[in-house]
Amino acid sequence: MDMRKPQVLGIIVMGFILLGGFLFINVFSQPTGDREGNIDAANGQGNVPVLPAPPTPTSTAAPTAIPTPERLAVRSVTLINADADQPFEGFDPLLDRSTIRRSELATQAINISANTTADVRSVDMVLLGATRKQQDQNSLPYSLFGDEGYNYRDGELNPGDHVLVIIPYSDDDTDGESGKPLVVTFTVVE
């Protein structure tokens, strides 16, 4: 059947099928209308044209993978004003390769807090460089210089380059499965 020309079909349409860019109409009836396919307006009989279907939109974009939830990870760190127990403006988060100008901070009483996924139960925090400090934490907030609840203890960062490594764990006391660590480098200047 040549689908480019209207065809004499019938008057009872049962369904539609899209194949090869053409819309096919399934008909279960005897052909009607005259030999040229003209429809008799009085009885509605005649040709039912079958026309090509509109082109199907295609996408060249690659399929998007559904992300799996991140687990056992340190997402970021925050520089904390230990006097106010709040983040310093501009340091939430403390980005890798940041420069901390001590003279521009509201106070020298500082701390650093780790922001983790909800499944983390403890962290090991190691600060290397101009200031050296190691701290294990078993409860929120996970802070480098310690805390009592959300009352941050104050610590001091010496001028110079620093590397902070934080490793999350699935159990207390840095036990169980270790997760995705975070490494942040920063420089402290006067």
Please state, in angstroms and rounded to a whole number, the distance separating the CA atoms of residues 102 and 87. 15
Q: Is the pLDDT of residue 29 over 50?
A: no
pLDDT grade, residue 59 (50/70/90)?
low
Residue 40 DSSP symbol: B
Is 74-189 assigned to CATH 3.20.20.140?
Answer: no
- Check: CB of residue 189 under 8 Å from CB of residue 99: yes
Please state, in angstroms and rounded to a whole number, the distance separating the CA atoms of residues 50 and 92. 64
Residue intervals of the chain classified under CATH 2.60.40.10 are 74-189
Write out pLDDT tens, residues 63-121: 677 777 789 999 999 999 999 999 999 999 999 999 999 999 999 999 999 999 999 99
Q: Is the pLDDT of residue 41 over 70?
A: no
Please state, in angstroms and rounded to a whole number, the distance separating the CA atoms of residues 28 and 13. 7
Percentage of residues in the chain having pLDDT higher than 90:
62
